[in-house]
């Protein structure tokens, strides 16, 4: 909203209004605003939740400090969602297809998580929203996102090719300044194919339509949309699994968000895209505004969620955080990098799958279920070992930073 106001003022030669043309300025303002919303609004919401006695009921599983957390306000994900949406609405171009997609995903997944928390807190049903209804909701958002990114004419990429390249039916040449490099001539093409990035591979581009034996976008959606749905469900549930210790999911998401901000900025900047020889994604620069608000919201929420937590995000926050990361990565064509970038979420998910699967197999075979970990998800295993909660979170963050750096390095290392 403010972008449109200052764009109008800039046409009237209002001093300083031109600052809103710069992505870096609007991203910085979005980050600052999200921090302020998290801290100021967060305090008021926590007090309101305490007044309404909306607290978490924690089962005693024999973990250190667990019982003391009973009564801690939950549904704090409302703070995160507000701190993401308010700066985005204020500073981003709201007609941008990528911004619209991210807003839809944020609100949709936030509502699913809110409904789950509402049933747990107000209906006193510890199970919350039935798993199948969560899955249906996640499938719904994956379907919408997949259709927008695949069928929208506004979603295109520009790729650099050599001078001998022959155009396909849905491709056109476009004019860019950087057409000669190291004595060789290159051309840029504009395509609406759903091409993505394969990490660590030279010439690391993969076209979903290729697997369907079609380059005219007739059948590629049959593969692309199910993949989008799977990624949204996997990452969203992974973030939900990770939300078990104070600050763990929030801090991990902030680290991932910073890496995604780098990808969005590089991919949306013609000069950097040309230098790194990656796909140039027009209009994706507005995603930098969104992810800046996302990172600010996560860091701001840590003000109250770091050990010892004054509020829990609940499913309202965790389902939305994972879904946002998934949709954002797909939008900047980095979804195949998710196993590395979101390695913390992946290992937490896998630890539960392995634990449950191994228990069922051994129970059927030996008549007694056995376990791989002392407790799943993995962070609870380390608690059982006797490591302090704050130290577990810090070490997970360190691993998350390492994975984020490795992910960013893939821009050049291939």
Indicate the pLDDT class of residue 217, thresholds 50, 70 and 90.
Answer: low
Indicate the pLDDT class of residue 215, thresholds 50, 70 and 90.
Answer: low
In the chain, the number of structural domains is 2
Least confident of 112-121, 144-153, 157-166, 225-234: 157-166
Please say if the pLDDT value at position 365 is more than 70. yes
- Mark whether 139 and 177 lie in a shared domain: no
Token look-up 């155009």 returns 167
- Mark whether 54 and 65 lie in a shared domain: yes
Please say if the pLDDT value at position 197 is more than 90. no
- Mark whether 164 and 298 lie in a shared domain: no
Q: What is the pLDDT of residue 176?
A: 61
Q: Which of 334, 369, 344 is nearest to 200 (CA)?
A: 334
In tens, the pLDDT along 77-91 reads 999 999 999 999 999
- Mark whether 244 and 161 lie in a shared domain: no
Indicate the pLDDT class of residue 189, thresholds 50, 70 and 90.
Answer: confident
Is 252 inside a domain boundary? yes
- Mark whether 143 and 131 lie in a shared domain: yes
Q: What is the pLDDT of residue 184?
A: 57
Indicate the pLDDT class of residue 111, thresholds 50, 70 and 90.
Answer: very high
Please say if the pLDDT value at position 58 is more than 90. no
- Mark whether 64 and 186 lie in a shared domain: no
Mean pLDDT of 195-206: 80
Mean pLDDT of 139-167: 87
Measured CA to CA, the distance from residue 234 to residue 242 in angstroms comes to: 12
- Mark whether 152 and 56 lie in a shared domain: yes
Q: Indicate the residue among 147, 182, 209 that finishes a domain.
A: 209
- Mark whether 19 and 100 lie in a shared domain: yes
114-132 residues labelled b (16+ CB within 10 A) or e (exposed): bbbbbbbbeeeeeebbeee
Q: What is the pLDDT of residue 40?
A: 92
Indicate the pLDDT class of residue 62, thresholds 50, 70 and 90.
Answer: low
Please say if the pLDDT value at position 119 is more than 70. yes
Residue 139 sits in which domain range? 2-156+217-409
Measured CA to CA, the distance from residue 107 to residue 141 in angstroms comes to: 10
Measured CA to CA, the distance from residue 84 to residue 107 in angstroms comes to: 10
Q: What is the pLDDT of residue 330?
A: 96
Is 414 inside a domain boundary? no
Token look-up 């249906």 returns 136
CA angle 403/404/406 to nearest 5° reads: 65
Mean pLDDT of 326-347: 95
Least confident of 172-176, 179-183, 236-240: 179-183
CB distance 171 to 187 below 8 Å: no
Mean pLDDT of 174-189: 62
Q: What is the pLDDT of residue 14?
A: 87
Q: What is the pTM of this model?
A: 0.92
Mean pLDDT of 179-190: 64
Q: Indicate the residue among 209, 234, 253 that finishes a domain.
A: 209
- Mark whether 271 and 365 lie in a shared domain: yes
Q: What is the pLDDT of residue 201?
A: 80
């Amino acid at each position: 909203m403010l972008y449109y106001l200052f764009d109008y003022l800039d046409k009237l030669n209002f001093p300083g209004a031109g600052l809103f043309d710069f992505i870096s300025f609007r991203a910085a303002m979005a980050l600052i605003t999200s921090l302020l919303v998290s801290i100021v609004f967060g305090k008021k919401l926590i007090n309101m939740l305490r007044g309404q006695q909306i607290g978490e009921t924690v089962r005693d599983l024999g973990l250190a400090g667990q019982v003391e957390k009973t009564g801690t306000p939950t549904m704090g994900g409302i703070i995160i969602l507000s701190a993401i949406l308010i700066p985005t609405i204020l500073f981003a171009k709201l007609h941008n297809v990528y911004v619209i997609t991210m807003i839809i995903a944020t609100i949709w997944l936030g509502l699913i998580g809110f409904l789950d928390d509402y049933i747990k807190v107000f209906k006193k049903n510890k199970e919350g929203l039935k798993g199948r209804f969560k899955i249906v909701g996640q499938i719904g958002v994956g379907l919408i996102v997949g259709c927008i990114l695949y069928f929208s004419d506004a979603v295109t990429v520009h790729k650099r090719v050599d001078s001998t390249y022959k155009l396909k039916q849905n491709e056109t040449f476009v004019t860019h300044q950087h057409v000669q490099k190291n004595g060789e001539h290159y051309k840029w093409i504009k395509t609406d194919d759903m091409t993505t990035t394969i990490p660590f591979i030279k010439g690391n581009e993969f076209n979903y339509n290729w697997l369907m034996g079609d380059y005219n976008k007739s059948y590629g959606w049959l593969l692309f949309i199910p993949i989008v749905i799977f990624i949204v469900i996997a990452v969203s549930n992974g973030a939900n699994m990770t939300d078990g210790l104070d600050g763990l999911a929030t801090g991990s998401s902030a680290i991932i968000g910073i890496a995604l901000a780098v990808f969005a900025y590089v991919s949306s900047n013609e000069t950097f895209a040309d230098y790194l020889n990656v796909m140039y994604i027009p209009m994706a620069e507005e995603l930098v505004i969104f992810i800046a608000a996302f990172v600010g919201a996560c860091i701001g929420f840590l003000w109250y969620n770091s050990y010892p937590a004054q509020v829990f995000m609940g499913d309202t926050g965790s389902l939305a955080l994972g879904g946002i990361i998934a949709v954002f990565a797909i939008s900047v064509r980095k979804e195949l990098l998710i196993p590395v970038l979101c390695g913390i979420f992946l290992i937490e998910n896998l630890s539960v799958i392995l634990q449950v699967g191994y228990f069922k197999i051994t129970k059927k075979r030996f008549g007694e279920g056995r376990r791989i970990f002392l407790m799943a998800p993995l962070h609870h295993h380390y608690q059982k070992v006797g490591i302090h909660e704050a130290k577990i979170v810090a070490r997970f963050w360190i691993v998350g930073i390492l994975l984020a750096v490795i992910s960013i390095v893939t821009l050049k290392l291939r």
